[in-house]
Every structure is written in structure tokens, then in C-alpha cells.
């Protein structure tokens, strides 16, 4: 898709604005987005980011000896390349990978999408409500009724906001 402003370069910024319940989309190249005052930051490939995090992570002797029995990849090879060898590596390197993810995502091990808007954002509330509902269903399934009651109370508070 070409930039809607200059019509020369590929659009890499896709912006959606909602003004009085009407949605407006803009598709701009990096240069035109910068001219319009949109925050332009250099994107680094994911494999490079992972590599940096892995290299920054302190390696103990136990981690150096971790080896996948399926593909033979060692943790040190992963640390050097930033790439895993097979799907089984996720289990073999589970603990150090979780530590890396927690560092990368501010203590979280699950992806939480960015949501536009300020403090009073209904999308954030909806996302939180879906998470609470999912946890409530899991708590009921394992018959953890104390946790289920607590989650229900959180959902009521969130609805009242």
C-alpha cells in the first residue's frame, strides 16, 4: 500500500482515529508520519531484540549445560544466535525463556497488546473483563470457589467504573 500523502513510498504507519463516532484511517510512510508529528521510532527486528535480551541474561553453569534432546541445540547456541532449533526447545529452555520474557514485558509472561487512549479507555476495561471472565471460568472448573468469588467481585467493580 502506498503512502496516502506522498503517494511514492510504502505506507508503514497505519493510524486510525475515531472522531465523533466516525473512523478515519491514515496510511503513511515513515517520512510523512514524521512530518505530521506522529511518533516515529526505529523498529528493530524481533530476532535482534531477542538476541540482545539473551546476551544480556547472565548464564550459569546449569544453563550452559542445557541441551535439547530432539535437535541437540544448547542454551549457549540459542544465546549466541537468538533462534531456537525446534518446538521442543521451548520446554527445554522454559525457565530461562520465561525470565527473558518477564524482563522484556515488565514482569509479564503473556503478551498484552497496546491499546490506544488514556486512563478511561473502554477497550482496556473490556480486555480486563475478558481476562477476569476467563480466570473465573478456570477457577469454577477446578472448584476454587474462593478465587471465583474474588474474581466475580473484581468484575462487578470493573462494571461499575
Alpha-carbon distance of 44 to 47, in angstroms, equals 8
**First and final C-alpha spacing in the chain:** 40
Residue holding cell 515513515? Answer: 30
- Write the pLDDT tens digit of every residue in 55-99: 555 455 567 778 899 999 988 888 788 888 899 998 988 888 887
Alpha-carbon distance of 115 to 13, in angstroms, equals 16
Residue 140: which of 119, 155, 125, 122 has the closest Cα? Answer: 155
Nearby residues of 125 by Cβ (< 8 Å), 6 or more positions away = 158, 161
DSSP 8-state secondary structure symbol assigned to residue 2: B
pLDDT for 114 equals 60
- Write the pLDDT tens digit of every residue in 135-153: 999 999 999 999 999 999 9
Residue 68: which of 90, 83, 101 has the closest Cα? Answer: 90
Q: What is the mean pLDDT of the chain?
A: 79
**pTM (whole model) above 0.95:** no
Higher-pLDDT residue of 15 and 68 is: 68
Give DSSP secondary structure letters for 51-94: HHHHHHSPP-HHHHH-B-TTT--BHHHHHHHS--SSTTHHHHTH
pLDDT for 119 equals 47
Judged against a pLDDT cut of 60, whether residue 159 lies above it is answered with yes
Residue 32: which of 63, 6, 55 has the closest Cα? Answer: 6
Residue 65: which of 57, 56, 77 has the closest Cα? Answer: 77
Higher-pLDDT residue of 103 and 68 is: 68
Higher-pLDDT residue of 122 and 55 is: 122
Higher-pLDDT residue of 130 and 47 is: 130
pLDDT for 116 equals 58
pLDDT for 44 equals 61
Amino acid at each position: 500500500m502506498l503512502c496516502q500523502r506522498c503517494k511514492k513510498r510504502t505506507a508503514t504507519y497505519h493510524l486510525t482515529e475515531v472522531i465523533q463516532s466516525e473512523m478515519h484511517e491514515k496510511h503513511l510512510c515513515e517520512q510523512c508520519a514524521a512530518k505530521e508529528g506522529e511518533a516515529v521510532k526505529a523498529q528493530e527486528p524481533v530476532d535482534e531484540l531477542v538476541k540482545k535480551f539473551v546476551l544480556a541474561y547472565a548464564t550459569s553453569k546449569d544453563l550452559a549445560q542445557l541441551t535439547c534432546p530432539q535437535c541437540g541445540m544448547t542454551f549457549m547456541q540459542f544465546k549466541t544466535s537468538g533462534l531456537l532449533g525446534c518446538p521442543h526447545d521451548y520446554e527445554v529452555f522454559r525457565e530461562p525463556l520465561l525470565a527473558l520474557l518477564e524482563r522484556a514485558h515488565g514482569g509479564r509472561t503473556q503478551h498484552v497488546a497496546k491499546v490506544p487512549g488514556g486512563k478511561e479507555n473502554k477497550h482496556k476495561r473490556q480486555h480486563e473483563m475478558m481476562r477476569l471472565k476467563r480466570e473465573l471460568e478456570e477457577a469454577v472448573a477446578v472448584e476454587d470457589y474462593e478465587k471465583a468469588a474474588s474474581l466475580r467481585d473484581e468484575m462487578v467493580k470493573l462494571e461499575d467504573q
